[in-house]
Amino acid sequence: MTDRGWQDDGEYYNAVRRAERATRLGWAAVAGTAGTLGCALIALLTLCAGAVVACLYAVVAMDY
């Protein structure tokens, strides 16, 4: 046993703090990745919608 006594929980609390910090970092990475993918998906959908509108415009313009 160590010389600090049997009621010393300092190492336990340090480990808990490190685990909480790692958990926050992990969730921040997950949120950042999901946000980036969400923005990319919105941009892709906007481009596809623009392409559909442009094609429809070209089809309608050919009839005149």
5 falls in which pLDDT band (50, 70, 90)? low
Read off the pLDDT of residues 15-57 as tens digits, 9 standing for 90 and up: 999 999 999 999 999 999 999 999 999 999 999 999 999 999 9
The CA distance from 12 to 36, in Å, is 36
Burial 36-47 (b: 16+ CB within 10 A, else e): eeeeeeeeeeee
